[in-house]
Structure 1
Amino acid sequence: MKTQIEILDHNQMGLTLERLASEIIERHTQAQDIALVGIQRRGVYLAARLKSLLDQRLHGDIPLGKLDINLYRDDWTTLRSQPELNSTEIHFPIEDKEVLLIDDVLFTGRTIRAALEAILDFGRPRRVELLELIDRGHRELPIHADYIGKKVNTALEEQVDVLVAEQDGHDSVVLHMKDRTR
């Protein structure tokens, strides 16, 4: 049996994204050379929300892209089922841009390794930074996020789900814990 704990509700998720937008502006003042790239699926929705916040605050139009990393995964040949392919849409040059990769949950680091490999197929950015809504630890690769919404200590067998209104009907972050009473 599993127990479910809400880590962030709708309001907390909104406040966290506001804080992350402020941190981006602190580091990139005018944000003239940055581009946001959301990792499919939920990272895309988070990236769109951050773009909206940044565009409002900076009175600009920051480039936004979507990145599907499924064909770059290091485990796709050993999966029991075919990975679900999503679209990659990067309609701007990334040469000399400061690309901000955006994802929902940082776990082993393998998704980000695949994203870095995929982004290089579009050119050589000046810098790549990583923004994660949730960092749950348990890295298998030496990858860290530059911007973290919330750090959550988890056990390996636990799962963290980020739910977004655009796909799931509501916003929340939920931790599924294995019942330890048995």
Structure 2
Amino acid sequence: MSVLLDEAAMGEAVASLAGEIRAVAEHGRVAIVGIRSRGDEVAERVSAILKEAGIEHDYGMLDISLYRDDLSHLAENPKLQSSEISFQVDGSHIVLVDDVLFTGRTIRAALDALTDYGRPARIQLAVLIDRGHREIPIQPDYSGVKLETARMDHVIVRLKKTDGEDAVELVTTP
């Protein structure tokens, strides 16, 4: 296992994401929506940076557990969390936030879940880590770091709130 990003580098990546989103948010209200779990923590940090900069925006969290196409491969009783969308989705400019973009299947599920709340005017995607290897045609609008990985590698994002530390690690599979 190797550390790809330490706490400082991860902070810079989140700040970079927030900066890119801020440039868009200054021209119209956006809603930051984090995908549970881990994307919601990244979204919370982006939201805090925008708030500190005086950028008004909406914030929410989305649970996609029941929208996944691999639900039958997960635990017999998957852990469900609540979605928290307290703003009007219809006509909104939404920035979906996740920790790692890999195959694109999580984002597909998030799009399905989000549109059950309404019809946004625009949806953009922000990810902390873009590691490639898409299985469906989804690309991020904003990414903190783009990594070259082997398909069988595992990228692990550790977040202080959940794991006690901020780090991104790579576990290679021989």
TM-score grouping bracket, smaller chain normalisation:
over 0.9
Which stretch of the first structure deviates more once superposed, 97-106 or 72-81? Answer: 72-81
Q: Percent identity?
A: 45
Q: Which residue of 2 aligns with 1:25?
A: 22
Report matched runs for 1:7-46 at 5 Å: 7-30=4-27, 32-46=28-42
CA shift at 1:85, angstroms?
1.1
1:87-138 deviation digits (Å, cap 9, x = unpaired): 1110111111110000000011000000000000110011000001001111
Say whether 1:170 aligns with 2:165: yes
Q: Identify which of 113, 116, 119 aligns with 1:118.
A: 113
Which residue number corresponds to residue 52 of structure 2? 56
Larger Rg: 1
Amino acid in structure 2 at the alignment position of 1:92: F
Could you tell me how far apart the structure 2 residues matched to 1:28 and 1:47 are? 14
Secondary structure class of the residue paired with 1:63: strand
Contact conserved, 2:100 with 2:128, CA < 8 A, in 1?
yes
In structure 2, relative to structure 1, the CA distance for the partners of 1:140 and 1:44 (3 Å cut) is same
Q: Secondary structure of the equivalent of 1:66?
A: strand
Deviations 1:44-82 (A, max 9, x none): 11111100100111x244211110101001121344533
Q: Which runs of 5+ in 1 are unaligned?
A: none
Contact 1:76 1:82 in 2 (8 A): no
Quick check: 1:34–1:99 contact (8 Å CA) kept in 2? yes
* Residue 88 (1) aligns with residue 86 (2): no
Structure 2: runs of 5 or more not aligned? none
Question: Is 1:68 matched up with 2:63?
Answer: yes
Equivalents in 1 of 2:140, 2:46: separation in Å? 16
Q: In the alignment, residue 18 of structure 2 is paired with which amino acid?
A: A
CA contact (8 A) 2:26 2:55 kept: no
| Deviation, structure 1 residue 14 | 0.8
Equivalent residue for 1:105? 100
Q: Which amino acid aligns with 1:46?
A: V
CA 1:79/1:19 → structure 2, altered by over 3 Å: closer, same or farther?
Answer: closer
Question: Retained in 1: the 8 A contact 2:22–2:55?
Answer: no
Query: Following superposition, which runs of at least 4 residues in structure 1 exceed 6 angstroms of deviation?
Result: none
User: For residues 97 and 34 of structure 1, what CA distance do their matches in structure 2 show?
Assistant: 7
